[in-house]
DNA sequence: GTGGTCTAGACCACC
DNA sequence: GTGGTCTAGACCACG
């Protein structure tokens, strides 16, 4: 009997992920300015260096473009922006499959369960 | 701009989840004895009260059966055991849909992407 | 009349450069272990985080390979190692040309001056 | 494992170097007036004493000629002015050789690399 | 011990 | 004000 505990993603990666979600959802669009390091840090009540770490990460992934003395901006490279959606989808599916695989269910049953839950979700949503 | 950070599950729920996974995977079977509170606490290097809390939770969910002076045992109620699988599956699908919904993809594309990734996973697994 | 002052390279980049030089000189070889963050920081009397920053940079440039709980190692990728020499040479030449270009000298004179200085250097070295 | 960090030149030497560059580039010519101590200090937002130190240095190197109550002037001694070019060139080559020497490359390869990079530089410059 | 994250706060160059 | 570097020191997971 062995257990491995949940390990929380580093905060800076959570920040990166949040930006990726915003991009995938269309909340952030190409070329749009993002908050300054200090401002976001203040909003999120985290350390500016942690935000800086997140922004550096996004810079390296070419998600944002940063120049000295001006606010960083979302990339205008449509290819990269599209890649974000792909990446998020792939990651979600991957996590899902990792969780579901040990249950040893045939694919068609998994799919039909998904369809079922989407259907129910749609209903409860229309209840609101 | 708003963010909500990952929050680690309480340890006792992580323990419960681990037992559920063991049951769903068939590692733990109906009627099988599970470690004593003290023993598990010692193994996991956590507080015995935390284990006790986890066991109480499982007791309430009828997952285990506890009698005085004998080791607790996994329930023999097949219905309950099957329910564990259902619950885990439902939870995984629910998480998955929550993540994927904002991407606004049609169901059939999601399904085909799942099939694709299963296929690839199978290939890379057979590479080992 | 305008002046721009020398701006010192960030310390972490100087550390990176030092490793690149060591590699180019053959002092560090493929797969060799490098000092731990704390150890190097202590030796150089700089902050461990600054060393960490340098090591991350090298990691991203695939110069070193780092795994958890074991000392980082120089990459074994010969292609990358060779690239280090190229990069250093290119950088040195580039700096040199930037300095020399405003002097408006013909290439052959530059070359002959270089040969002259190499020659003199060789003589004074053999004087030691 | 040993490292020596970049150390920024004293400001007064940076000022001197800037004048030398201006002379070598022909921006400053023989006999031309240079700014007063106070004026340059104000422009560069540095201490007038620092400028004074720089001018003293240039005076000692006979680069400028200072008389009471009139602006200092660049020397008219062609020999000295030519020497500035020599000095800068010699220094650049010296730095270059110091950097390149540990790479242990034959001279002809260094030269051919220089020619290559000049060629490329010319191309990209004509792209502008 | 190892590598890695995070904070708090100072400092810098640029405009 | 902006982005960026650096320090000092705490904390974590892993083995």
- How far apart are the C-alpha atoms of C97 and A86, rounded to whole Å? 44
Q: Please indicate, yes or no, if residue D56 is contained in any of the structural domains.
A: yes
Average of per-residue pLDDT across D14-29? 91
Q: What is the pLDDT of residues C25-76, one digit of tens each?
A: 999 999 999 999 999 999 999 999 999 999 999 999 999 999 999 999 999 9
Q: What is the CATH number of the domain that holds C54?
A: 1.10.10.10
- Which pLDDT value is given to residue B34? 93
Q: What is the pLDDT of residues A90-114, one digit of tens each?
A: 999 999 998 898 888 898 999 999 9
Q: Which nucleotide is nearest, taking the CA of residue A72 and each C1'?
A: F3
Q: What is the pLDDT of residues A11-20, one digit of tens each?
A: 999 999 999 9
Mean pLDDT of chain C: 92
- Which pLDDT value is given to residue B122? 76
Q: With 0-12 CB in 10 A as exposed, 13-18 as middle and 19+ as buried, what is D15?
A: buried
Q: Which nucleotide is nearest, taking the CA of residue C51 and each C1'?
A: F6
- Which pLDDT value is given to residue D123? 76
Of C6, C21, C44, the CB nearest to D8: C6
Contact in structure between B62 and B54 (CB atoms under 8 Å):
no
The alpha carbon of residue B79 is apart from the nearest alpha carbon of chain A, in Å, by 16
Most confident by average pLDDT, A5-9, A37-41, B116-120: A37-41
Query: Percent of chain A at pLDDT above 70?
Result: 95
Q: Please indicate, yes or no, if residue C124 is contained in any of the structural domains.
A: no
Q: On chain E, which bases lie within 7 A of the protein's CB atoms?
A: 1-10, 13-15
Domain count for chain D, please give it. Answer: 1
Interface probe, candidates C24, C54, C88, C103, chain D, greatest D C-beta count within 10 A: C103
Average of per-residue pLDDT across D31-38? 92
Of D7, D15, D21, the CB nearest to C102: D21
Residue D127 CA distance to nucleotide F8 C1' (Å): 49
Q: Please indicate, yes or no, if residue A15 is contained in any of the structural domains.
A: yes
Q: Please indicate, yes or no, if residue B36 is contained in any of the structural domains.
A: yes
CA-nearest of A97, A45, A69 to B118 is A97
Query: Percent of chain D at pLDDT above 70?
Result: 96
Q: What is the pLDDT of residues D40-91, one digit of tens each?
A: 888 888 888 999 999 999 999 999 999 988 999 999 999 999 999 999 999 9
Does nucleic acid strand F have an atom less than 7 angstroms from the CB of A52?
yes
Provide the domain limits for residue C58.
Answer: 11-78
- Which pLDDT value is given to residue A59? 97
CA-nearest of B91, B28, B102, B100 to B58 is B28
Q: Please indicate, yes or no, if residue C46 is contained in any of the structural domains.
A: yes
Hey, which bits of chain A come out as E strands? 64-65, 73-74
- Given pLDDT bands bounded at 50, 70 and 90, which one contains residue D2? confident
Q: What is the pLDDT of residues B75-96, one digit of tens each?
A: 999 999 999 999 999 999 999 9
Chain D residue nearest residue C99, CA to CA:
D92
- Given pLDDT bands bounded at 50, 70 and 90, which one contains residue C126? low
For D73, the 3-state DSSP assignment is strand
C6 part of contact set with chain D, CB < 8 Å: yes
- Given pLDDT bands bounded at 50, 70 and 90, which one contains residue B49? very high
CA-nearest of D14, A116, B8, D3 to C41 is D3
- Which pLDDT value is given to residue B8? 84
Q: Please indicate, yes or no, if residue B120 is contained in any of the structural domains.
A: no
Q: Please indicate, yes or no, if residue D35 is contained in any of the structural domains.
A: yes
Does nucleic acid strand E have an atom less than 7 angstroms from the CB of C57?
no
- Output b/e per residue, A69-98; b: 16+ Cβ within 10 A: eeebbbbeeeebbebbbeebbeebbeebbe
- Given pLDDT bands bounded at 50, 70 and 90, which one contains residue B127? low
- How far apart are the C-alpha atoms of D91 and C125, rounded to whole Å? 18
Q: Please indicate, yes or no, if residue C31 is contained in any of the structural domains.
A: yes
Q: Is the pLDDT of residue B5 over 70?
A: yes
């Amino acid at each position: 009997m062995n257990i491995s505990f949940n390990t929380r993603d580093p905060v800076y990666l959570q920040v990166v992920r949040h930006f990726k979600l915003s991009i995938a959802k269309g909340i952030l669009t190409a070329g749009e300015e993002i908050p300054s390091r200090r401002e976001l840090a203040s909003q999120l009540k985290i350390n500016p260096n942690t935000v800086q770490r997140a922004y550096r990460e996004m810079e390296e992934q070419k998600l944002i473009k940063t120049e000295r003395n001006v606010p960083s901006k979302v990339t205008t490279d449509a290819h990269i922006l599209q890649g974000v959606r792909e990446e998020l989808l792939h990651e979600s599916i991957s996590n899902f499959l990792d969780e579901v695989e040990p249950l040893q269910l045939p694919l068609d049953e998994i799919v039909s369960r998904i369809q079922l839950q989407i259907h129910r979700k749609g209903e409860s949503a229309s209840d609101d």
